[in-house]
Amino acid sequence: MEVFTLTIAVVGLALSVASLTWQVVQHSLTGPRVQAEILWGGLGRGGAAIGPIRGDLDRTLQQGFTEPVVAVRGRNRGRMPVDIKGYGVEGQAGMSLSRFAWDPNPPLPHRLESGSEVTFYVPLEDVHRLIDASETLGPYNGRIRGSLDLSLGKTVKSGWEPFPKV
């Protein structure tokens, strides 16, 4: 009889641990899960051509996308919508740049629905000015990243990407 009781207790413990684990996983998947990404490209021809920060933009600019930009893209992979209150392009010296009222950007706050994405743009020339200004705080080490300020009081940041200083 003791072996049977012990077996029932062990099975009950295993089921309760599995149930608790499942509840924690469900809770983390229920809310918004926003990811930030930093890109570059050009605006023009009624649209944007953007991609990873690699090589140079000469080819893109020759195709009619005449305004070089750095872009911060946000994707909501969660189940709940979230509001984006702000965005920025950051240099490693701690300085950040935003262009809230610039025409290509959607107005803020921006509602990011589940499964959707949004892209904010900053002129490439302004990013180079940010880098120049940040050198008063220390030498530029060749990296930038994007950030999104969420209504949840949280800031989501992309990874650091190599960025050429012109």
d(CA 43, CA 57): 12
User: What is the C-alpha radius of gyration for the chain, rounded to an integer number of angstroms?
Assistant: 22
* Cut 0.75: pTM above it: yes
| pLDDT given at position 166 | 63
Per-residue pLDDT tens over the stretch 142-157: 899 999 999 988 999 9
Domain ranges of the chain: 1-30, 31-162
Could you give the percent of the chain with pLDDT greater than 70? 96
Cα 126 to Cα 85, 97, 159, distances in angstroms: 21, 8, 20
The string of DSSP codes covering 89-144 is EEETTS-EE--TT-TTSPPSSEEE-TT-EEEEEEEHHHHHHHHHHHTTTS---SEE
Provide the token pair at 91.
């240099």
The 10 Å Cβ neighbour count of residue 49 is 18
Regions of the chain where pLDDT drops below 50: none
Per-residue pLDDT tens over the stretch 61-71: 888 888 999 99
**What's the CATH architecture for 31-162?**
Sandwich (2.60)
| pLDDT given at position 154 | 92
Give the SS3 label for residue 71: strand
Per-residue pLDDT tens over the stretch 94-113: 788 888 888 899 999 999 99
Q: Which of 36, 37, 58 is nearest to 164 (CA)?
A: 58
Q: What is the DSSP letter of 45?
A: T
d(CA 161, CA 61): 21
| pLDDT given at position 131 | 87
| pLDDT given at position 83 | 94
